[in-house]
A and B are shown apart, each in its own frame.
Chain A
């Protein structure tokens, strides 16, 4: 079965630290990749997405992610985190199975930024 793996379930960083959250998916076919964020008390919001082209994609709030096809990875990065980045981060993949299936999500990474 298709799956998405997020390696870190909980991450605690200090402000200004650099961030990298890992995401790997299991499917070798055509995929589109997403990172969503869920701030405390808010709904899921799109951070960034990759469909094709430049494998380094930039999203909102200074986040970026790199698609490495050979490693089936789509890691999220931010050079300097802020306290307001405290949230749950979800990697999601949409697979092409004759059409387009629903999003398959990782289990999420709970990020806490200490001031």
Chain B
């Protein structure tokens, strides 16, 4: 089975711009979660989608949003980029939203905001 794929792998943007990141889950997985990884804060949960609905949300400002499509693919959008948004954004997929599910991670999209 192919793993979680994320595109693009690298992005450079400037402050004030917006960015959209894409994630394709493992075939058959219906839940997609997004995480931000930075040297200072580590890995932090952004949000989780299942059946095109946001099920859980972390403690991030409203500039961070996402959506999920009927084929379970997900996109994450960050508007009005700030320097502090520079990070590795990781997508993880699982079969469903449940304590019993294991999340499998993609390679990430590295975003640099100048």
Contact = CB atoms under 8 A, between A and B. Distances in A.
Interface of A: 30-32, 34, 36, 42-46, 49, 51, 90, 92, 94, 96, 99-108
Contact of B104 (A32, A46, A92): A46
B43 A100 contact: no
- By Cβ-Cβ distance, the 10 closest A-B pairs, closest first, are A102-B45, A105-B43, A44-B105, A43-B107, A107-B42, A100-B99, A32-B99, A101-B56, A43-B105, A96-B99
A99 B105 contact: no
A43 B106 contact: yes
Nearest to B3: A43
Nearest to A32: B99
Contacts of B48: 102
Interface string B86-109: 000010100001111111111110
Determine the interface band of chain B, counting residues with CB < 8 A from chain A. 20 to 34
A94 B42 CA distance: 16
B107 A103 contact: no
Given A32-B99, A46-B102, A100-B99, 12 more contacts: A30-B99, A31-B99, A43-B90, A43-B106, A44-B90, A44-B105, A90-B43, A100-B97, A100-B98, A103-B43, A105-B35, A105-B42
A58 B44 CA distance: 26
B15 to A, nearest CB: 27
A103 B102 contact: no
